[in-house]
Amino acid sequence: MSESPRKRGRPRTLDRDVGLDIAARLFWERGYEGTSIADLTEAMGITPPSLYATFGSKDDLFKQALDRNSERENQNRLGALQGHLSAYDAIAFYLHDAAAGFTDPGKPRGCMVSTAVLQHGDKSEAAAREVAARRDLAIQLIKKRFDRALAEGELATGTDTVALARFYAAVVQGMSAQACDGACSETLRRLADIALSAWPGISTGRRAQASQG
């Protein structure tokens, strides 16, 4: 007499946001190419079919994890750029918030967008384009704030807002790399202050306070 087939248990389900948090941390810690589907499914406690059914391909999951991470990590910086702070105070907040965030002991070092995909193989081209587009978006957001400062007289007529935005974006990306190499928050804050000393327009905040001391 043949044995009756065993009933299969229901596949484990995973809360989508929990899964994205797990994926974001792995991609942040190990980079895109250093994170495999096996790594992701093991950390989430699910099977590859469940991962694909929930998030799509690895590229799809990476993009969703970037969205999740950016929403959490960049909200205050974006608010500073788009709010009522002067341009100088906005970029000062941006740099100092990055210095603190890149060295937060409860998180991976550096910035996920800056470090997840730099040098890469052909199979990672889509992920590389995704993070490059996000880095470019950050430059455009900073430039938009500098364009506003130019119109409002905080920056001198003729200021190259593209180059200025790229300069401060490069500072942030460099801070991320140095954080990954072990630089502490105080080191990055000092680096930020040096970058702020190159500000070409009217400044308030820290520099104004220093001049009164």
CATH number, domain containing residue 32: 1.10.10.60
Q: Is residue 28 part of a domain?
A: yes
59, 125: one domain? no
Examine the domain organization and report whether 78 and 179 are in the same domain: yes
Give mean pLDDT, residues 118-139.
Answer: 80
pLDDT at 9 over 60: no
Give DSSP secondary structure letters for 143-175. HHHHHHHHHTTSS-TT--HHHHHHHHHHHHHHH
Q: Which residue has the tokens 């905080």?
A: 154
The domain total for the chain is 2
Q: Per-residue pLDDT for 26 more than 90?
A: yes
Q: Could you read off the pLDDT of 161-173 as tens digits, one per residue?
A: 999 999 999 999 9
- pLDDT value of position 119: 52
Using the predicted structure, report yes or no on whether residue 23 has a pLDDT greater than 70: yes
177: pLDDT strictly greater than 50: yes
Q: Which two tokens stand for residue 128?
A: 């590389």
113 C-beta neighbours (distance < 10 Å), count: 24
Residue 209 domain-assigned (yes or no): no
Q: What pLDDT score does 1 carry?
A: 44
Closest by CA position to 116, among listed 24, 212, 209, 3: 24
Per-residue pLDDT at 206 exceeds 50: no
Q: How much is the average pLDDT of 24-39?
A: 92
Task: Inform me whether the pLDDT recorded for 211 exceeds 70.
Answer: no
Domain that holds residue 22: 16-67
Note whether 123 and 195 are same-domain residues. yes
Q: Is residue 205 part of a domain?
A: no
